[in-house]
Structure 1
Amino acid sequence: MDTTKTWRLGIHIDEHDDQTHARAHLVTKDSELTGLGIARLNPRDTDVPEIGDELAVARALLDLAHQLLEAAAGDIESVTHQRGAISL
């Protein structure tokens, strides 16, 4: 069976107090998950906002990826009644 699904992913970035905060919000037909990431500027480093954005977003996406893996493992357990072990 051929199917097409659309999952929406939004990235929100804000900066304050030398920290960049990122939120990756995923919406599917059945669920919503949000990953969070933070990047901090080292006072000795040159302030390049793009680098903070990249680090914070990467960390938020990693957090989201781990949540997706946990959800998949839980779904496997509910179907097979065996512990689902999934890793990156």
Structure 2
Amino acid sequence: MARAAKWTIEVALDENGDTTRAQVRLAAAGGAVFHGIGLVRGGQRGVHLPAIAAELAMARAFSDLTEELLEAVASDIESAVPGAVAPVPARA
């Protein structure tokens, strides 16, 4: 039988001069909270395109959130089943 769970996500976007910052907060049903932050500073050759900067900052924030969530999942699996998560080889 499937379990229903409600997770809440909050998104904030700030622009200050040529810096755009996105923040994503994910609150899990069990009380855990995860955060992602994405920054975009300036543009090439001094060109700043706010709409594109906002999209890129959001993409970076969600990517950051994804990494944090995946780390938590790996930790939870390792706690539940020691040795279940193989170490990730270092990049050359």
TM range (shorter): 0.7 to 0.9
Separation (CA, whole Å) in 1 of partners of 2:52 and 2:38: 13
Question: In angstroms, what is the RMSD of aligned CA positions?
Answer: 2.0
Q: Percent identity?
A: 37
Look up the SS of the partner of 2:45 in the other structure.
Answer: coil
TM-score normalised by length of structure 2: 0.83
1:49 aligns with 2:54: no
How many residues of Structure 1 are paired with residues of Structure 2 in the alignment?
A: 87
Give 1:17-28 correspondences, 5 Å limit: 17-28=17-28
1:65 aligns with 2:79: no
1:17 Cα deviation after fit: 2.9
Separation (CA, whole Å) in 1 of partners of 2:63 and 2:73: 15
1:50 Cα deviation after fit: 1.1
Instruction: Look up the match of 1:81.
Output: 82
Separation (CA, whole Å) in 1 of partners of 2:59 and 2:86: 24
The 8 Å contact of residues 73 and 84 in structure 1, kept in 2 or not, is answered as: yes
Which ranges of 4 or more aligned residues in structure 1 deviate by more than 4 Å?
none
Separation (CA, whole Å) in 2 of partners of 1:77 and 1:43: 43
1:6 aligns with 2:29: no
Look up the SS of the partner of 2:72 in the other structure.
Answer: helix
Look up the SS of the partner of 1:44 in the other structure.
Answer: helix
Separation (CA, whole Å) in 2 of partners of 1:6 and 1:66: 21
TM-score normalised by length of structure 1: 0.86
1:26 Cα deviation after fit: 0.2
